[in-house]
Structure 1
Amino acid sequence: MHVLLAILAIGAAVPVAMALRAAPTQPAKTKLAGAKFSADGKLQRPVDYRNWRFVSAGLGMSYGPAAQAAALTGHVMFDNVFVQPAAYDAFLRDRAWPEGTMFVLELRGSETQRPPNNRGYLQTDLHGIEVSVKDSARFKNRWAYFDFGMDATATPMPESRCFACHKANAAVDMTFVQFYPTLQKN
Structure 2
Amino acid sequence: METIGKMVLLMGTLIVSAFMVGTGIAAEEKVAFNKDGSLDRPAGYRGWTHVGSTILPKGSVNIIENKPIPTNEIINTYVKPWAYEAYMKTGLWPEGTMIVKEFVALGEPDEDGLVHEIYFAGLAALVKDSKIFPAQTGHLGYFAFGHQREPYLDRAALADRAKCSSCHEHHASDQQYIFADRHIGLRR
Cα contact 1:106–1:130 (8 A) shared by 2: yes
In the aligned structure 2, how far is the partner of 1:52 from the partner of 1:24? 22
Provide structure 1 residue ranges, at least 5 long, that are not aligned to the other structure: 1-19
| 1:55-91 alpha-carbon deviations (Å, 9 max, x no partner) | 0011108731357341xx4x22110000000000000
Residue 159 (1) aligns with residue 161 (2): yes
Whole-Å Cα distance in 2 between the matches of residues 136 and 76 of structure 1? 36
Give the CA RMSD over aligned residues. 2.5
Corresponding residue for 1:177? 180
- Displacement, 1:127? 1.2
Shift in Å at residue 120 of structure 1? Answer: 3.2
Larger Rg: 1
Measured after TM superposition, the shift of residue 163 of structure 1 is: 0.3
2:129 aligned with 1:146:
no
* Greater shift in the superposed pair: 121-130 or 43-52: 121-130
CA contact (8 A) 1:67 1:77 kept: no
- For 2:179, the aligned partner's letter is F
> Identity over the aligned pairs, expressed in percent?
27
How far residue 41 of structure 1 moved from its aligned partner, in angstroms, is: 1.8
Q: Deviations over 1:123-167 (max 9, x none)?
A: 221111000000010012200111111201001111112100011
- The structure 2 residue matched to 1:95, chosen from 91, 94, 100, is 91
Equivalent in the alignment of 2:36: 40
Output the CA distance in 2 between the equivalents of 1:181 and 1:121: 21
Gaps of 5+ in 2: 1-17, 147-151
Q: Is the 8 A contact 1:55 1:82 kept in 2?
A: yes
TM-score by length of 1: 0.76
Aligned residue for 2:130?
136
Alignment CA distance shift 1:101-1:82 (3 Å): same
**1-structure distance, mates of 2:94, 2:125:** 16
Note the alpha carbon deviations across 1:6-53, whole angstroms, 9 max, x for none.
Answer: xxxxxxxxxxxxxx9xx974966x5323x3322222100001101100
Pair 1:59-2:55 in alignment = yes
Instruction: Supply the distance in 1 between the matched residues of 2:116 and 2:91 (Cα, whole angstroms).
Output: 32
Cα offsets for 1:87-133 (capped at 9, x unmatched): 00000111000000000000110113235xx2232222111100000
| Number of equivalences | 158
Describe how 1:72-111 pairs up with structure 2 within 5 A.
73=70, 75-111=71-107
| Distance in 1 (alpha carbons) for counterparts of 2:118 and 2:160 | 29
Q: Which of 122, 129, 138 is 2:116 aligned to? A: 122
Scaled by the length of structure 2, what TM-score is found? 0.75
